[in-house]
Every structure is written in structure tokens, then in C-alpha cells.
């Protein structure tokens, strides 16, 4: 072959080799991508499998927990005893779920089952009656749920041996409602002495007034009507004139034809004891000597007075 022919063939061969390289390079890249995808998928499957296993275990645990809950017995709690007396007591308790209410009380001699509500409830109560004073009892509480699972609770109860008499506290002496009205002794217009305590057993309408008081003048007809109509063995009216002379009081009563009893508090000492804030002021004292009502200011009618008297 001539040198020119050799030169022409050599470039053709070089070009043909370059084309083969271009074809081979994409093929290698595809193989690498496929290999990477296979490795990625191979790595994902174990993770998915582990996640599925964990989820199955969680669901199985929840199912087992629910089954165990259904099989669990109820719980009796918050047991208390109240109103304990010689022959009775009240037992209260609760359960953590709705159950029936059952109870039995036993002494050393016998046992008695209590007839209680069989409906499903969470708050329970039992009243013990016909028990003896100074005796130890064993009380058994039973609770049964819808799954027929039962719980029991036992406690002891000892009834008091002697009844404790309530302590009666007498009201204090004072001018307030609910207190014993302070006793006093004052003269009448004719000089006779009268004391509040001598009217114990009657309702006393104790009225503090002054003849110079216009409001006092307005209510005197109503007081006189009450004095005339109410029985003398049930009601006593005492009209106490404060800081006034006998002549002025007598003139005031005579000019208005008033006949209810008037007492003279010439120095205002009794009015001070009763802490009279204004005139007129009326205290309503019951038959036991306790102040049950106070009226400050004048009455507007006879009915106004009677409504208070009837409430005593």
C-alpha cells in the first residue's frame, strides 16, 4: 500500500474508535443507575417490614389491653360513714365503673343483707337501721359490673354506747335580734314600777317614743288599735317615753285618748341600753324574752304591726 493510502485509512480507523467510545459510555451509566436503584430498593424493604411489625405489635397491645379491661374487677373507693347514732348510720361509697349495690352487716350474733338498688350506678349509699348501741359490726360492701366481675370491701363500725345530748347555748343578753332583751324597771305615770321580766310568757311590743316626735304621733292610733284588739294574756304593749317629764307625757296621751301603758325613761338610760337609733323604734320580744324583730321608724297601718306579731 502506498503511503497516501495508509494516511487515509488511519484517520478513518481513529474516527471509528471514537464512535465506539461514545456508544459504550451511556451503556455504563445506565448500568450504574440500575445498580443504584437496586441497592436503594433493597435498603427500603427492611425498613418497611420493621414498621409493619411495630404497627402490628402496637395494635395487638391495644387489643390485649381492652380485653384485660373488660375482664378486670371493679374498684370500691371513697368509703365514708356519716350520721352515726346508737341505732343507725349511713354508709356512702363509689365505684370506678357502674356496678350494682350490695351490702351486708354482721355482728357477733347474726348477719343481715341490706335490700339495695340493683341498677348499675357509680355512687352508692346504704342506711343501717335496727342496730344496737355499743356494738361492733362488720360491714361488707359488694360491687358487680356488667361483666359479672365482683369486688368486695370490708370495714368495721362501732356504734356509740350512750347518746350525747346536744349542748344548748343560751342567747346572750343584748339589744340585737336573737338576743335576750335586757331587763329593766321603770315607773308608770302613776308611779307604779314595772319590769320587763314580769311579762315573760307574753309577746311584748316595746315602743320607744317622744311626745315631740311627729312620726311617733302618726303611729299611735295603730298601736292603740292593737292594744284594744289583741288578748291581754298574749300581748303586752309597753310605750317607753324617753327624756320627758310626766306632765308632757300625760297631756299627750289624754289629748289623743290613748290608754296603752306608758313608762317613763326620764334619764334615757333604758333607751341607751337598747341602743335606740331614732324615734320611734319598736322591739318585738317573744314569750321566751328573745328579741325577734326591730322596727325603726313609724308604722303605716295596723296591719303593718299585726304582720310582725303573727310571725313571732
- pLDDT tens-digit profile of 257-309? 999 999 999 999 999 999 999 999 999 999 999 999 999 999 999 999 999 99
The answer to whether 194 touches 207, Cβ cutoff 8 Å, is no
Q: Is residue 216 part of a domain?
A: yes
For residue 286, give its domain range: 185-311
Indicate the burial class of 219 (C-beta count within 10 angstroms; 0-12, 13-18, 19 or more).
Answer: buried
Examine the domain organization and report whether 190 and 300 are in the same domain.
yes
The answer to whether 302 touches 222, Cβ cutoff 8 Å, is yes
pLDDT digits (tens, 9 = 90+) for 59-105: 666 665 555 554 578 888 888 777 666 667 788 888 888 888 788 88
Question: Which is nearest to 225 in space by CA: 309, 312, 291, 311?
Answer: 309
Examine the domain organization and report whether 189 and 307 are in the same domain.
yes
- Give the length of the chain: 312
- Do the strands 291-296 and 281-285 form a parallel or antiparallel pair, or are they unpaired? antiparallel
Enumerate the β-bridge partners of residue 126: 91
Question: Which is nearest to 223 in space by CA: 251, 198, 259, 171?
Answer: 259
- In 3-state terms the chain splits into helix, strand, coil percentages (rounded to 5) of 35, 30, 35
- Count structural domains, the chain: 2
pLDDT of residue 139: 81
Tell me if residue 184 falls in helix, strand or coil.
Answer: coil
Q: Is residue 61 part of a domain?
A: no
Enumerate the β-bridge partners of residue 264: 241
Q: Is residue 99 part of a domain?
A: yes
Q: Is residue 261 part of a domain?
A: yes
Tell me if residue 104 falls in helix, strand or coil.
Answer: strand
Report how many helices (DSSP H) and strands (DSSP E) the chain contains, helices first.
Answer: 5, 14
pTM score of the predicted model: 0.50
Examine the domain organization and report whether 307 and 189 are in the same domain.
yes
pLDDT digits (tens, 9 = 90+) for 206-259: 999 999 999 999 999 999 999 999 999 999 999 999 999 999 999 999 999 999
The DSSP 8-state label assigned to residue 108 in this structure reads: S
The answer to whether 259 touches 186, Cβ cutoff 8 Å, is no
Indicate the burial class of 206 (C-beta count within 10 angstroms; 0-12, 13-18, 19 or more).
Answer: buried
Q: Is residue 69 part of a domain?
A: no
Classify the phi-psi angles of 137: left when phi > 0, otherwise alpha if psi is within -120 to 50, otherwise beta.
Answer: beta
Amino acid at each position: 500500500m502506498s503511503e497516501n493510502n495508509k494516511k487515509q485509512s488511519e484517520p478513518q480507523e481513529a474516527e471509528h474508535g471514537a464512535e465506539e467510545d461514545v456508544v459504550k459510555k451511556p451503556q455504563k451509566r445506565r448500568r450504574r443507575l440500575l445498580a443504584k436503584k437496586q441497592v436503594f430498593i433493597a435498603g427500603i424493604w427492611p425498613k418497611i417490614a420493621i414498621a409493619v411489625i411495630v404497627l402490628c405489635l402496637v395494635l395487638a397491645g391495644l387489643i390485649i389491653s381492652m380485653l384485660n379491661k373488660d375482664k378486670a374487677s371493679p374498684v370500691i373507693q371513697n368509703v365514708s360513714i356519716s350520721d352515726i347514732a346508737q341505732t343507725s348510720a349511713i354508709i356512702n361509697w363509689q365505684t370506678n365503673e357502674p356496678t350494682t349495690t350490695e351490702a351486708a352487716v354482721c355482728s357477733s350474733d347474726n348477719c343481715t343483707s341490706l335490700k339495695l338498688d340493683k341498677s348499675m350506678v357509680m355512687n352508692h349509699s346504704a342506711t343501717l337501721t335496727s342496730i344496737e348501741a355499743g356494738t361492733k359490726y362488720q360491714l361488707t360492701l359488694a360491687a358487680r359490673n356488667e361483666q359479672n366481675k365482683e369486688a368486695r370491701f370490708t370495714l368495721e363500725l362501732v356504734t356509740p354506747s350512750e347518746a350525747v345530748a346536744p349542748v344548748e347555748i343560751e342567747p346572750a343578753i343584748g339589744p340585737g335580734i336573737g338576743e335576750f332583751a335586757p331587763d329593766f324597771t321603770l315607773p308608770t305615770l302613776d308611779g307604779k314600777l314595772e319590769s320587763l321580766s314580769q311579762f315573760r310568757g307574753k309577746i311584748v311590743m316595746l315602743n320607744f317614743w317622744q311626745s315631740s316626735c311627729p312620726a311617733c304621733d302618726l303611729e299611735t292610733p295603730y298601736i292603740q288599735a292593737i292594744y284594744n284588739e289583741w288578748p291581754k294574756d298574749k300581748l303586752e304593749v309597753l310605750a317607753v317615753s324617753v327624756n320627758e317629764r310626766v306632765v308632757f307625757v300625760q297631756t299627750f296621751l289624754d289629748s289623743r285618748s290613748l290608754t296603752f301603758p306608758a313608762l317613763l325613761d326620764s334619764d334615757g338610760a333604758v333607751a341607751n341600753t337598747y341602743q335606740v337609733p331614732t324615734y320611734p323604734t319598736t322591739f318585738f320580744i317573744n314569750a321566751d324574752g328573745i328579741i325577734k324583730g326591730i322596727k325603726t321608724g313609724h308604722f303605716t297601718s295596723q296591719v303593718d304591726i299585726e304582720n310582725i306579731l303573727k310571725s313571732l
